[in-house]
Each structure stands twice: as structure tokens, then as C-alpha cells.
Structure 1
Amino acid sequence: MTSLVPDPALRSFLEEATARYEADLTRSPAAVAYLKKRGLSEDNAASYRLGYVENPLPGHESARGMIAVPYLTRSGVTTIRFRRLGDGDGPKYRSVPGDLPRIYNASALLIPSDYIAICEGEFDAIAATLTGVPAIGIGGVSAWKPYFARCFKGYKAVYILADADDKGQGMEFAEKVAEQIKNARICPMPAGHDVNSFVLANGPEALLELLEIKK
């Protein structure tokens, strides 16, 4: 079985790629505009080391023109996922072939807190965390693995923020995760919203109110 921890050579490659794409972000007005549309400032993008694939390293050629979303941990970058600019037909995200599913924004697990949120997607996890709700992201229903559940022991509440999409995949994801976490609370977003769009439309305090969290 492939290790979840990249070997030194791969870790070095991932760091080089993250640094290159991070540096190229401001050279793409379209990428900057896309992140701004998602409610992310230049400082926010820098905090999460988001980038733009203008000159891909070998193996990342198919991600040219996409947003680079590195998975940051205390030991460095463990993988990079890529998000196309805007919507449209076909998959929005691209992963490195053969890569294992991982937890995005794993550093949220290190924040002293009685609660944490689980989101379906990286940008939703960022949006929730920026409101003051520590959150991790999972890249879709199939990316959740049973061994992730052990990370959420000890919390008084684990909020599973379910997207209100037309296909019902948000609730499918939430129910799958809730089955494996005893202290889980499924919190559906209002109709037509994911976490990111809900925060953008209603402001950061609205998420805290929805979850009935008092700061």
C-alpha cells in the first residue's frame, strides 16, 4: 500500500511545484479574479499557498491553466489538487493519478477547540475556517476513508456541513461520514448553497448563527 507520507524526493518535488505555482498566481488576472469571486483575498491565498499552473512541472501538464491547491501539513506539502477556473462541463477538480485520498487543511485538527467542521471540498473548508469555525475538507464522497474518523474523537461536536446541491450528493456525503463519527451533527446548507457561497451571500457571522456557535 502506498504511504500517506510522501518520501523525501516526492516531498521536495511537491514543495518545488507549490512554490512555482504560488509565485505564478499574481501573473494570471483570471486566477486572481476567480479567487476574489470565492471571497479570498491576496493574504488568504498566500496563507493557503494557493497557486496557478502557468508553467507545469513534469507530470502536471494536464493541470495547465488551473488553480493549484496544495495540501499543507507540519511536515510539508503532501499532495496538490487542481481546480479549473469557473464552472462548465466535466470534472471541476483534477488529482494526481494514483494519489491517495487525504484530509485538506489538516492543521485545523491542531487548533484547540471543542468543535470542528467537515466540508466536502477545499474551498468550503477555507471559507468555514476563515469565519472562525475550524474545518477540514474532503475531496468528495469517494475520498472519505473510514480511518479518517479517528481524527475526530474528543470533540464535543463535529459539524458535517452538507452542500444543498440538486443531485443530493451533499447529503450522501454527510450521511456517509456521520455513520462513522459518534459526535457528528449534519448541518445542511440552505437551498442552492455550499459553505463558500453561503458565507459569501450572508457574511461570516451567518455560519456561526446557523451552527448556533457563540464566540
Structure 2
Amino acid sequence: MTSIVPENALKSFLEEATARYEGGLAGSPDAVAYLKSRGLSEDSAASYRLGYVENPLPGHELSRGKLAIPYLTRAGVVTIRFRRLGDGDGPKYLSAPGDPPRIYNADALLTPSDHIAICEGEFDAIAATQAGIPAVGIAGVSAWKSYFARCFKGYRAVYLLADADDKGQGLEFAEKVAEQIKNARISPMPDGHDVNSFVLANGPEALLDQLEIKR
């Protein structure tokens, strides 16, 4: 069974990779433009240590030309997921083989707040957090594990921000999670939107208004 906490040698490798790829982001106009299209400034990208794989470390060769999304924790980088830029062939995301599912932006769980949001995906979690709602991301329906539910006890409200995709997977994800979190509240995005696109189109206040959260 793969350990949730990487061994020290792997943590050192992940930190080296994260530092290299975040250093390469500014050198890729396409990557910078893509992040801006998702509402992420260079400062925002830097705070999440997002990067671009121009010169991959050994073992990351298949991720060349992709965005690097490190999973940051107080203990350091615990994994990196890679995303292609825009549309294209092959899988949209790549994860390390055998890597266990994890919670993205886990530091949101340490934010003093009586509410938190769970999103389906890293960029949605970033968008919600930047809008003023502490948020974590889960990398799809299959990546949710029942033991994650323990992290969300004690909140007044756990908002499940469901994507409004044409396959119904966003609502499926939210309903699966809601079965295991008693204080969950499913809040679907308008048709055709995920959290990121909704905030981009309508501004952060619109998301706060939908959830009736006051700053």
C-alpha cells in the first residue's frame, strides 16, 4: 500500500521538481496565457507554486510541455499533478503511477472558518479560495475516499460546488460526497459552468451571493 506521506527522498525530489517547474513558468508564454485565461495572475500562480515543465526531471519526461500543479502541505510538497495546456490528444491530467488520491489545497482546512467548500478539481479550488471561501479540490469522482470525510467535521457548512457539465458527473460527485458529510450543502453551478468559469464570468461576489456568504 502506498503511503500518504512520501518518504524523505521522494519529498526532496518533489521539492526539487516544484522549484524547477515554477522557475520555468515565466519562460512559457503559452502557459502564462493559459493561467491568465483561468483568472490566475502571476502572483496567484506563485502563491500556489504552479509551474511549467520545459526541462523535466528524470521520471517526468511524459509531462514535458504541461503545467505542474504541486500539492502543497505544511510538511512540504506531497505530489505533483500535470495538466496539458488547453485541448489536445491524450489525458488532460497525469498523476504519478500508484499515487494515492489526495486533497488539494489542504491548508484550507487550517483556515479559521465555520465553512469550507469542496470542489472537483484544483483550479476550481483556487478560484473559490480567491473569491474568499476556503476551498479544497478533489481530482474527480473516483478520487474521493471515505476517510476524507473526517476532515470536514465541525464546520457549520461544507459547500459542495458541483460543476454543471453535460455528463452529470459534477452532480454525481457532489451527491457521493454529501452521503458521507452530514453538514454538506450541494450548490450546483449554473448550466455550462464550473466554479472557475462562473467566477471568471460573474466575479467573486456572485459566488459569495450564491452561497449567501458575507465577507
Residue 67 of structure 2 corresponds to residue 67 of structure 1: yes
Matched residues in 2 for 1:84 and 1:98: separation? 20
Show the 5 A alignment for 1:1-215.
Answer: 1-215=1-215
Q: Which secondary structure state, in structure 1, belongs to the residue aligned with residue 56 of structure 2?
A: coil
| Offset at residue 89 of structure 1 (A) | 4.3
TM-score normalized by structure 2?
Answer: 0.99
Whole-Å separation in 2 of the counterparts to 1:192 and 1:22: 31
> How many residues are paired up?
215
CA distance in 2, matches of 1:87, 1:118: 25
Q: In structure 1, the residue corresponding to 2:71 is in which secondary structure?
A: strand
Query: For residues 95 and 11 of structure 1, what CA distance do their matches in structure 2 show?
Result: 16
2:131/2:205 contact within 8 Å kept: yes
Moved over 6 A (4+): none
AA at the equivalent of 1:98: G
* Identical columns (%): 82
- Taking only aligned residues, the RMSD between alpha carbons, in angstroms, comes to 0.6
Mapped to 1, the partners of 2:24 and 2:30 lie a distance apart of 12
What letter matches 2:34 in structure 1? Y
Partners in 2 of 1:87 and 1:154 — Cα distance? 40
8 Å Cα contact 2:2/2:98 also seen in 1? no
TM-score by length of 1: 0.99
Deviation of 1:3 (Å):
1.0
- In structure 2, stretches of 5+ residues that fail to align are none
Cα-to-partner distance string for 1:14-52 (whole Å, 9 max, x where unaligned): 000000000000000000000000000010000000000
Q: SS of 1:68's equivalent?
A: strand
**CA–CA distance in 2 between the matches of 1:27 and 1:162?**
34
Q: Provide the rounded CA distance (Å) in 1 between the counterparts of 2:7 and 2:28.
A: 32
- How far is 1:214 from its partner? 1.2
Structure 1: tracts of 5 or more residues without a match: none
